[in-house]
Chain A
Amino acid sequence: MTAHEMAAETGQHGIIQMLGVNKWFGEFHVLRDINLSVDQGEKIVICGPSGSGKSTLIRCINALEEYQRGQIIVDGVPLTNNLKNIDAVRSEVGMVFQQFNLFPHLTVLENLTLAPIWVRKVPKREAEETAMYFLGRVKIPEQAAKYPGQLSGGQQQRVAIARSLCMRPKVMLFDEPTSALDPEMIKEVLDVMIELANEGITMLCVTHEMGFARTVANRVIFMDRGQIIEQNEPEEFFNNPQSERTQLFLSQILSH
């Protein structure tokens, strides 16, 4: 029995714990009995064919999706319909979207300071200092006064990452962060993510960037039809996939 399985069963450790989570969209069963435990500082890459439920899985962790059965506990807080719990979880968990979702009516700096000011109630000056620090970290401090529409896709996604970091989250969720980017911009975003990973933040990342998975992940999870089919360390996962479906998926994704 693995450490993860033990954690899942005892319901302890692990900053994120999902126990028997089931979700339906109407009649469609998107998540089937998901059991997952994520340790503090762990980097997890989730992959799988489209429609396999991987985005839904991480969106559940941030209460962007409701689930009908099972339990999700984030940093000791159970995710229920209780708004207080949802607020508590969301302020610990940052999320980066495929489509960036920057606020087009606010400058880059205002995008970054919005949540700290209104949620954390940080004074404006302080929020701006933090924002500038993180903009430096994603290497675009000079863009602070611009509007999102003036930036390239890669720059926008880096701003989106910085925006999440400004809330000083314990967990970062990435929902296909590079899928909407032109090829030449993927690297600049991945570089930022790798740097972030090296600092020990907990990361869950839905992505098809297998190179990223090899360098960064502690664990790779393969999902299909709403189930976790296989999970392993990246080396084993790529070199020695066990399940047929994993093999098929990997052959399709790595063949070109």
Chain B
Amino acid sequence: MAVDTTVNSAPRASIWNDPRGRAIIYQVLVVGGVVLMFWYLISNTMENLQNQQIASGFGFLDREAGFEISESLIDFSAASNYGSAFLVGILNTFKVSVLGIAIATILGILIGIARLSSNWLVAKLAMSYVELLRNIPLLLQLFFWYGVITVSLPGPREAINPLPGVFLSNRGFKVPVPEAHFAFTMAGVALVIGVIATYVVMRWAKARQARTGQPFPMLAAGAGLIVGLPVLAWLLGGAPTTLDMPELGRFRFTGGITLTPEFAALLFGLATYTAAFIAEIVRSGILAVSYGQTEAASALGLRKGLVLRLVVLPQALRVIIPPTTSQYLNLTKNSSLAVAIGYPDLVHVGNTTLNQTGQAIEAISIFMAVYLSLSLAISAFMNWYNQRIALVER
């Protein structure tokens, strides 16, 4: 029997047979159940904490940490507080994630395109890469790379020296950096100017093409501005070439910058693993644009490069970008595996703190808050992007 709840004259059904009433009962039951469960868990926790005499709350963040962190982007010592320790961890997570994302993207695009190569060997090699990396646990790969660096590479005295100033040893990688010089500051400023100028020229070129029909070689011009201007500034600044070269002293290296084995293994492992997934996304994105699109564009007389730029890429990117952002998120989450090889990321630092202070709930809440805000930010971006690019269909 159908119950029409909108018509008052109809005989009123009992609340259980009224769909709206039923929905309310269900929801009250579910919410009640969840609240009860939480109440039970929280009261247990309170009792347990009381028994263990652990004061809950974030007051411990101000206390002195008392442990060292092997690498940090900001000043940190054992005398700093737990709050700064967490900050160091968060920054280290960001550092490895941002670099990892950059490398994974470039590598992933290259391998994705290679999978579609008309060269059989290239395509098969790219496929083997993807299958191999995707089907072996990331943690195992991280252990492996860490092993390659710390076990198979020689000690600092016999460090491999593939390029002048580059030393690979089981203590990490030493790389030269240019010595600080005014010219580099100028080059940095020039880079910013170059980017802005490229944007301005791009707008001008677009307007001019609309007016006169003449296209402008934007790719060359942009490259010239973004690369050329900084180089020019560097030359004007006296073209300093002195590098801070790492050198083997009596006991250790001096000069240059160091990539610790932990950081290098984590970065390399995360980037190569995620690249395999990005490669598959790139491949399926390009395949998602039907061949008819390329044919139609060619039949109109567009050259290969223009077909790619005006027709294939804009469509492929719509398919590629959303899953790629979630791969970025995965990479960031996977960077928490750092704890297994000893790179001081958020989880590693938090774990140390947790063991020292017993503030388990607080430490885990911080983990969750950091990762969740990252995921929420990324999914907000994805929603915005999806709305912006959604194809209009009937």
CB distance from A175 to the nearest CB of B (A): 10
Residues of B with C-beta under 8 A to A95: 296, 299
- How many A residues have CB within 8 A of the partner chain? 39
Known A-B contacts A103-B311, A123-B211, A125-B210; the reply to A150 vs B296 at CB < 8 A is no
A91 interfacial by beta-carbon distance below 8 Å: yes
From B298, B300, B303, B394, A114 is in contact (CB under 8 Å) with: B300
- How many B residues have CB within 8 A of the partner chain? 29
Question: Are B293 and A103 in contact, with the CB atoms below 8 A?
Answer: yes
Known A-B contacts A103-B311, A118-B302, A150-B394; the reply to A123 vs B296 at CB < 8 A is no
B224 interfacial by beta-carbon distance below 8 Å: no
- Interface flags for B263-293 (1: CB within 8 Å of A; 0: not) read 0000000000000000000000000001011
User: Which residues in chain B, 26-47, are within 8 Å of chain A measured between CB atoms?
Assistant: none
A103 to B215, CA, bound (A): 21
CB distance from A63 to the nearest CB of B (A): 8
Residues of B with C-beta under 8 A to A62: 299
A177 interfacial by beta-carbon distance below 8 Å: no
A70 interfacial by beta-carbon distance below 8 Å: no
A149 interfacial by beta-carbon distance below 8 Å: yes
CB distance from B218 to the nearest CB of A (A): 13
Known A-B contacts A118-B310, A146-B392, A149-B391; the reply to A126 vs B315 at CB < 8 A is no
B59 interfacial by beta-carbon distance below 8 Å: no
Residues of A with C-beta under 8 A to B315: 103-105
Known A-B contacts A64-B295, A97-B292; the reply to A149 vs B301 at CB < 8 A is no
Residues of A with C-beta under 8 A to B75: none
Question: Are A105 and B314 in contact, with the CB atoms below 8 A?
Answer: yes
Interface centre among A62, A103, A120, A163, by most B CB within 10 Å?
A: A103
Question: Are B302 and A123 in contact, with the CB atoms below 8 A?
Answer: no
Residues of B with C-beta under 8 A to A114: 297, 300, 302, 310-311
CB distance from A2 to the nearest CB of B (A): 30
Question: Are A123 and B298 in contact, with the CB atoms below 8 A?
Answer: no
Question: Are A64 and B299 in contact, with the CB atoms below 8 A?
Answer: yes
B162 interfacial by beta-carbon distance below 8 Å: no
Residues of A with C-beta under 8 A to B311: 103, 114
A144 interfacial by beta-carbon distance below 8 Å: no
Question: Are B210 and A101 in contact, with the CB atoms below 8 A?
Answer: no
Interface centre among A93, A97, A104, A149, by most B CB within 10 Å?
A: A104
From A87, A101, A127, B292 is in contact (CB under 8 Å) with: A101
A144 to B297, CA, bound (A): 19
Known A-B contacts A105-B314, A149-B392; the reply to A119 vs B213 at CB < 8 A is no
Task: List 17 additional contacts besides A115-B301, A118-B306, A124-B213; criterion CB under 8 Å.
Answer: A64-B299, A87-B301, A87-B303, A90-B299, A99-B290, A101-B292, A103-B293, A104-B315, A114-B297, A117-B213, A118-B302, A120-B213, A123-B210, A123-B212, A147-B393, A149-B393, A167-B301
> Can you show 6 pairs from A to B with CB atoms below 8 A apart?
A64-B299, A97-B295, A97-B296, A101-B292, A121-B213, A123-B209
